[in-house]
Structure 1
């Protein structure tokens, strides 16, 4: 739905409460008292059918139609059956936003037979009013003295936004945060989320300068694509931390149909949040611990940790938790060890963790920190203290705070205990140093910081290109369409192998036989040991074991080297098939040469489809001796080599591959290439519902697929992350030089050429583009330019073969950023200095204008320096309205692409232009 009218929700100048009375148990009365008690400065009104003169001193009218003014926000606390009617009347009266606190609307039904909450959504859509809820605790904006909730206490102002889906959990979060001194910029819950949804709120908060971090409590994600797009934008600029409840089937609030090959939904949410750059934590306590480290600690230069304490015990506890969490201890340099040895007892262990002894003084703590600060191998330090009779905890805290100043270290502390260390913890809080009560919590928070940086790196990694993204696969496309036209919902084993071969995935040579006699004929010709597999209708579907639960079913006999052995094997396989799959039609036998591979290293890779999150790429172990489903890891397409390797790294089989493969790096690359190929297959052919290669083995050239099965669906499955829009590619001929140039959307693989493009431009061109002189563009800078979300932004680049014949070079680029409501986009364009006068800038701008107009964007805007005459002339040629902005000392450019269709669009654009 976007951010339409959300400003009226978060910053209302007037509020009406429907259903408030002075009864102690009146929901509306509680909300009204919180509004007044919080010091809300705006105008208040009550609507109550009992026709009171006032409620708690606030004027009251009997009906919505009698309101003396049109409020920005309505808070509805009336009985469930009245709410749809109230929403309709409020919308017709011109009220822009409403909070529906009434509960039970998911259980009570209307005359249409649907739950009442759907009638609320229908009324909102017909009248244009935005609705938060039903069944929400409400909204707090502490900095604006707005407490529009029925919560037992208010929140303190701060820089953190919290969005929840449960009112009772939200109440405990307020209590918890207050005790920790955490303040909020916004605090609200979605309730049933019938109109205003999670993605709408994230879009708003991503643009809010007063919000530095976003906390999410998620029970379900109704609109996966919108959520992914919104969160990816938000997480690039501020930390997003999420708790997802309902991790096991027994605790899921809404019934959820599992995708084929998976036995739990939780790994799907793991994959979604990781790909969105979100740090997922296990509970509310961890949420605030992670918030403390992410907002108070600097980015980590290393992932190792040095630990120091006034005793052995605390250090051992911290090391145990670090090892359990997959962290690593920092190695101390020899110089550091020698310096510390001069301060510590002779029996010191001379290694990390550092035991300062029980009587460690403030001076010793400070000197130890200074020594570690000089060690190039040490970046992060956990400083711990256990209360003792010999030293004062506050004095040691003061010494630590002073010692940390001016160092490059990331320091966080753990003052064990409670009653005697509170002053010390307050001192750390005032100094901006994270502090924790227990070693386990401190180390967990540190590891969360590491995990957050890892998922952030996945957003900006430059992938390695290994294959032609634009190869012609029309043959496979025709094969799929023929099968669907014939009414089939799966491919035969032979057809599935053809699909893989068409995409460059090697398969074991296979002979298909109708009966045992044909199998023996194949063997008599080859005279080599063979493997024989029985094929039946059910076996043509992927993830057979997970579908049927018949994990003991034997479909293949291996290393058969005589006719007698083959006959026995065929009979045995037929008996197995008839016992386990009597309803599945027999198709025949598949005969393959017996393959040699490193024992135990076999992968199951494939594609499955979730009803909400679309296609998923899966990877894990294969084999009868391994719990395949337990090792199965998930990633969202599209994948590149970096993302594919990260998916592979999470599997147990990755560790075996590293340890037992004769060439681990080559094999890791080969599996990653296969995963990227599967990702491309499901993007190119969205009718593929499921695909499983099991096992995937290795030969001299890379990976080889032994068996494959493919399911189809007439309903295409679209990835929730928009893949590369190939249809936007266009070749042009430059009129002056006759040079042939391709204009296409940017790919992450363009990072090296893009960096060279920026580095070779003149200082004047750089100033015109970035409004300042820049001498250096880091890999991270340029990676952010090319790693884009095609749903939210677009970058077209002009590429051509290099004159020396070595690859391609970037000659120009144009980009737009579009707001969440697709109202306005802002452009920036830059052309290589040597291409000036070729018309390339005009071609790029026209390409972008046409694209944005086709998307329905209402207007395009930009800023140009007054002395950038070539760009100003091009803008006038393209039809832009050009005006001088005295405040910013730039030229404002504006081009109407489409006429606004709705009043709110005209209002928003009008307000933005003033």
Structure 2
């Protein structure tokens, strides 16, 4: 993950095209012609082994070694077997970036049998050159007159970045975008992505002020953790819309090895993109429809929709689609109904959707919109029009545009038809109002806006505190490691119960017996009805796939109340086991009391592990009455209570729980707590490969695990989202007050205390921290401060018990934002006014300095107001270099943490210093 040299790729002062000639079908020649016709202002050079003086008027040399200058960018269009050698020579010549357009390198092999594209990767790594491709269509940056592609046409300048993987898909996007008037800040494809990948480009685009939205076409994600980290940062500041192709096994270009218990890989991508705040769409058409609404509509104050049309039919179509997608029709107020009644025929329906009648005039459309604008219940309006003999579609469009100006409404339109309404659609595009070709597409785009806003809101929700991050689970870890040392890949049923029991998940009281005699001895003590289950090796593994016959196998006999009944039951269970699982080793029996008062909706919850995406939390149905695999939903750990409830809400079983449970709220909380706990188990003990609780039932104490199975792996599984770094917690005692304070990384649950901390600060302290006076901090403002990606940010907070003993309070905080290359981190620190003189600021800053130094960050920088004497004194005490910034009239602070090792690092730091 690095933006190293990407500026040379996107803004090159000079370009060399390797392999260009004047042949009409020559790939390099096509690229060169596009560069020239696009008006590229920089210096051009051609390298061709034929002894040309020039190509299309551009000077040509025979070899890379004969180039008179070292270009910022080289574009390679030579045969596959020449590319890696060319990359190596360009890197040795000091060229910083290259675009490899040559195709077929994933299917052409070297003498070692490896695809040639990997030799390109190796050459790039050894020489330090950055490579886009191979097999890329190239790159366009319209604002810089750069068209370094072989595309059939250029793109319009704009504020949208497109990053694709397929050149043919990109070509169709170019046509599509031009027809819709969509312009681009950057347009490129990755091809095979041997070096520059999605995460590198997303990091660059997230910082680019000319890019308002990012469109992604994804076929596969080589490094899920890097991608997740980059896209989570980008989606906080601008919409990210993604199309993921290869949704079914038959269409996957890179076959995905499925984890246990998962039937398709696509839901994993769904879970990842949702967690990252990305809006996923199903195709290119939906991508541009979503772009229309996300970039042209305001944030939604409400999720309901009002619909108006010059006829019943279009409105009904829109309502049908809205209902299919779970949307909500807005309710008109009596005031709006009465006002509309004065304009409409007496037979109108007096409800939403609003039928304006076939002869609706421009004036009527305008007046209706103004009425809705005064209705506090109306926030979003879909305006529909079907061509008619009585009115002009363009005049009505003009009336809608004029009425929309100055209103608080989100207005989007659908002018049905084609031949007679194109001018009206162009009018909407120019006015910045989203417009669609049919009611269904309009509603789908609106609902995608709704869902995207829900995802963004979900990421800012403050979860209630649940997981105890201070708990020590040494005993549980010892059980797992002992099993691995003994050569086992799974825990016994009894060991698995002990693991979840120690984490606080309730289990049914169970007695384990080696044979029938031990079962009888245990029953002699119990002397009450019992259930007996046979235990063998296969049932100790989670997510076991069973044949039809095995699914009918009976492994438990219930309500046994005599020794004779127990003997008969055990013999029956042995016969059944030997018939259906002859190769699975016998491990004994489990005996449980009957009537332990558990029941209700049966859930299956657990952990599985994907080779690419790491541990996954799963939740869904248990039992044969519904399709377990179909209902199984996926989320990425770590989870908190908000994320756990969202995972649960996506299951079919959630609806059953809401409708049929006697205590739905309590049961929903119980399942959510169990999901959070499972998430924590796999973080604490990454050697757990899979864990399944099936069924999870309920009693008066909450959720209860009936059966549990755990399997193991010597290779730890790491979540692609960095979990809470518990090892960074530290206690200290303040010298003056003697208060005991914990300094630890921030959690999302810290939002309430963090908000109080800011609200209690003096106006001067707030000005020093935020460079302006602020009287109010919203919940969303503070949530963003504490809901962080530990891969990119760090926030240490100092917390202590309140002096009145009622809970904790935040006494200080320090944060850093680190760039994608881990070169620089920018810091900010603030300590509670009442803590001045306690040395808390020094402690917080020193902890952050040590942390950033340990992770290899090269420099720490900061900006301080010139009159902030306390901070300047602290910086001087800690060894910062302090300089006055004349342009900004602030003090720039800089502290070297580690020496830069690479030349590009030194160049970047020198440039930022000036």
Q: TM-score range by the shorter chain?
A: over 0.9
Provide the residue aligned with 1:2 in structure 2: 2
Provide the residue aligned with 2:297 in structure 1: 297
Provide the residue aligned with 1:145 in structure 2: 145
Partner-residue secondary structure (3-state), 2:507: coil
Between 571-580 and 765-774, the greater mean CA deviation after superposition: 571-580
Paired residues of 1:597 and 1:697 also in contact (CA < 8 A)? no
Structure 2 CA distance for partners of 1:71 and 1:219, relative to 1, 3 Å? same
How much does 1:342 deviate?
A: 2.5
Structure 2 CA distance for partners of 1:598 and 1:288, relative to 1, 3 Å? farther
How much does 1:339 deviate?
A: 2.3
Partner-residue secondary structure (3-state), 2:826: strand
Q: Distance in 2 between matches of 1:49 and 1:579?
A: 73
How much does 1:594 deviate?
A: 3.1
Structure 2 CA distance for partners of 1:548 and 1:84, relative to 1, 3 Å? farther
How much does 1:527 deviate?
A: 4.4
Partner-residue secondary structure (3-state), 1:544: coil
Q: Distance in 2 between matches of 1:20 and 1:568?
A: 85
Q: 1:814 and 2:814 equivalent?
A: yes
Partner-residue secondary structure (3-state), 1:103: coil
Q: Distance in 1 between matches of 2:553 and 2:438?
A: 50
How much does 1:260 deviate?
A: 0.3
How much does 1:564 deviate?
A: 5.5
Unaligned runs of 5+ in 2: none
Q: Distance in 1 between matches of 2:777 and 2:149?
A: 48
How much does 1:177 deviate?
A: 0.5
Q: Distance in 1 between matches of 2:10 and 2:550?
A: 55
Paired residues of 1:261 and 1:546 also in contact (CA < 8 A)? no
Q: Distance in 1 between matches of 2:564 and 2:370?
A: 78
How much does 1:524 deviate?
A: 5.1
Q: Distance in 1 between matches of 2:543 and 2:288?
A: 40
Paired residues of 1:275 and 1:458 also in contact (CA < 8 A)? no
Q: How is 1:706-745 mapped onto 2 (pairs within 5 angstroms)?
A: 706-745=706-745
Between 139-148 and 335-344, the greater mean CA deviation after superposition: 335-344
Q: Distance in 1 between matches of 2:761 and 2:549?
A: 62
Q: How is 1:872-887 mapped onto 2 (pairs within 5 angstroms)?
A: 872-887=872-887
Structure 2 CA distance for partners of 1:687 and 1:392, relative to 1, 3 Å? same
Partner-residue secondary structure (3-state), 2:477: helix
How much does 1:520 deviate?
A: 4.6
Deviations 1:650-689 (A, max 9, x none): 0000000000001101110010000000000000000000
After TM superposition, the score normalised by the length of structure 2 is 0.98
How much does 1:835 deviate?
A: 0.9
Q: 1:638 and 2:638 equivalent?
A: yes
How much does 1:519 deviate?
A: 3.6
Paired residues of 1:261 and 1:547 also in contact (CA < 8 A)? no
Q: Distance in 1 between matches of 2:742 and 2:283?
A: 50
Paired residues of 1:598 and 1:660 also in contact (CA < 8 A)? no
Q: 1:867 and 2:842 equivalent?
A: no
Between 67-76 and 874-883, the greater mean CA deviation after superposition: 874-883
Partner-residue secondary structure (3-state), 1:695: strand
How much does 1:575 deviate?
A: 3.3
Provide the residue aligned with 1:364 in structure 2: 364
Q: 1:603 and 2:603 equivalent?
A: yes
Provide the residue aligned with 2:39 in structure 1: 39
Paired residues of 1:73 and 1:96 also in contact (CA < 8 A)? yes
Provide the residue aligned with 1:333 in structure 2: 333
Q: 1:613 and 2:633 equivalent?
A: no
Q: Distance in 2 between matches of 1:363 and 1:821?
A: 57
Provide the residue aligned with 1:756 in structure 2: 756
Paired residues of 2:508 and 2:596 also in contact (CA < 8 A)? no
How much does 1:357 deviate?
A: 1.3
How much does 1:104 deviate?
A: 0.9
Q: Distance in 2 between matches of 1:130 and 1:191?
A: 14
Deviations 1:297-328 (A, max 9, x none): 00001111111111111111111111111111
Provide the residue aligned with 1:155 in structure 2: 155
Structure 2 CA distance for partners of 1:401 and 1:563, relative to 1, 3 Å? farther
Q: Distance in 1 between matches of 2:654 and 2:177?
A: 40
Q: Distance in 1 between matches of 2:792 and 2:258?
A: 30
Q: Distance in 2 between matches of 1:870 and 1:862?
A: 14
Deviations 1:542-575 (A, max 9, x none): 0113699943333233444555654454344333
Provide the residue aligned with 2:426 in structure 1: 426
Aligned-pair RMSD on alpha carbons?
A: 1.5
Partner-residue secondary structure (3-state), 1:811: strand
Partner-residue secondary structure (3-state), 1:512: strand
Partner-residue secondary structure (3-state), 1:545: coil
How much does 1:517 deviate?
A: 4.5
Paired residues of 1:262 and 1:546 also in contact (CA < 8 A)? no
Q: How is 1:740-889 mapped onto 2 (pairs within 5 angstroms)?
A: 740-889=740-889
After TM superposition, the score normalised by the length of structure 1 is 0.98
Provide the residue aligned with 1:451 in structure 2: 451
Structure 2 CA distance for partners of 1:548 and 1:886, relative to 1, 3 Å? farther
Partner-residue secondary structure (3-state), 2:545: helix
Provide the residue aligned with 1:439 in structure 2: 439
Q: 1:701 and 2:728 equivalent?
A: no
Paired residues of 1:795 and 1:816 also in contact (CA < 8 A)? yes
Q: How is 1:195-594 mapped onto 2 (pairs within 5 angstroms)?
A: 195-523=195-523, 525-545=525-545, 550-561=550-561, 566-594=566-594
Q: 1:909 and 2:909 equivalent?
A: yes
Q: Distance in 2 between matches of 1:267 and 1:157?
A: 35
Paired residues of 2:743 and 2:796 also in contact (CA < 8 A)? yes
Q: 1:683 and 2:683 equivalent?
A: yes
Partner-residue secondary structure (3-state), 1:140: strand
Structure 2 CA distance for partners of 1:908 and 1:544, relative to 1, 3 Å? same
Partner-residue secondary structure (3-state), 1:69: coil
Q: Distance in 1 between matches of 2:655 and 2:566?
A: 36
How much does 1:741 deviate?
A: 1.2
Partner-residue secondary structure (3-state), 1:826: strand
Q: Distance in 2 between matches of 1:551 and 1:57?
A: 75
Deviations 1:745-788 (A, max 9, x none): 11111100100000011111010000000000000000000000
Structure 2 CA distance for partners of 1:125 and 1:774, relative to 1, 3 Å? same
Q: Distance in 2 between matches of 1:333 and 1:657?
A: 34
Q: Distance in 2 between matches of 1:440 and 1:275?
A: 27
Q: Distance in 2 between matches of 1:528 and 1:152?
A: 82
Q: Distance in 1 between matches of 2:27 and 2:556?
A: 67
Structure 2 CA distance for partners of 1:272 and 1:317, relative to 1, 3 Å? same
Paired residues of 2:467 and 2:676 also in contact (CA < 8 A)? no
Q: Distance in 1 between matches of 2:446 and 2:123?
A: 48
Q: Distance in 2 between matches of 1:553 and 1:23?
A: 71
Q: Distance in 1 between matches of 2:111 and 2:836?
A: 67
Paired residues of 2:141 and 2:187 also in contact (CA < 8 A)? yes
Provide the residue aligned with 1:623 in structure 2: 623
Structure 2 CA distance for partners of 1:126 and 1:40, relative to 1, 3 Å? same
How much does 1:623 deviate?
A: 0.6
How much does 1:350 deviate?
A: 1.9
Q: Distance in 1 between matches of 2:434 and 2:877?
A: 56
Partner-residue secondary structure (3-state), 2:2: coil
Provide the residue aligned with 1:651 in structure 2: 651
Q: Distance in 1 between matches of 2:560 and 2:653?
A: 28
Structure 2 CA distance for partners of 1:364 and 1:536, relative to 1, 3 Å? same
Partner-residue secondary structure (3-state), 1:188: strand
Paired residues of 1:80 and 1:103 also in contact (CA < 8 A)? yes
Q: Distance in 2 between matches of 1:612 and 1:302?
A: 38
Q: Distance in 2 between matches of 1:186 and 1:793?
A: 27
Q: How is 1:156-175 mapped onto 2 (pairs within 5 angstroms)?
A: 156-175=156-175
Paired residues of 2:599 and 2:698 also in contact (CA < 8 A)? no
Between 206-215 and 528-537, the greater mean CA deviation after superposition: 528-537
Q: Distance in 1 between matches of 2:73 and 2:588?
A: 69
Paired residues of 2:600 and 2:698 also in contact (CA < 8 A)? no
Q: Distance in 2 between matches of 1:404 and 1:552?
A: 63
Structure 2 CA distance for partners of 1:532 and 1:598, relative to 1, 3 Å? closer
How many pairs does the alignment contain? 914
